[in-house]
Amino acid sequence: MMKRSIFIVVFCVLGSGCGSGSHPKEEEKHAQACVEPENPYSEGTGHYAGYKWAEENGGNCNTHSPSFNEGCEEYEEQEARYEDCKSKGR
C-alpha cells in the first residue's frame, strides 16, 4: 500500500494527473487578450479574396466559388470570436 501511495503522489506531481481538472494551457488561452481577425490565406487565392471581401463588406458568403465562400466564412468566424471575447472584457 505504501508503494502505491508514493506512486500516486509522484504521478500527481510530475504527471499532473491529479487536481481540479483545469489545465494551465486552457487557463492561459482564456487569459489572453482578444485577437483581431487576420487573413491567413495567400494573396491571389479564392480564400484570400473571400476573406478580404467579408472583411470589407461583411455577410453573405454564398457564391459559386467554394474557396471564396470558405475564406469569407473564416473571416466571419474570426470576427465572431473577437467580438465575443471583447464583450467578455478580455
Helix (H) or strand (E) holding 74, with range, is helix 66-87
pLDDT band at 33 (very low <50, low <70, confident <90, very high): confident
The pair phi, psi for residue 63, each rounded to 5°, is: -120, -175
**Tell me: the pLDDT tens digits for 39-68?**
999 999 999 999 999 999 987 889 999 999
Burial status of residue 9 (CB atoms within 10 A of its CB: 0-12, 13-18, 19 or more): exposed
- The C-alpha angle 62, 66, 68, rounded to 5 degrees, equals 70
Q: At what angle do helices 46-57 and 66-87 cross, to 10 degrees?
A: 40
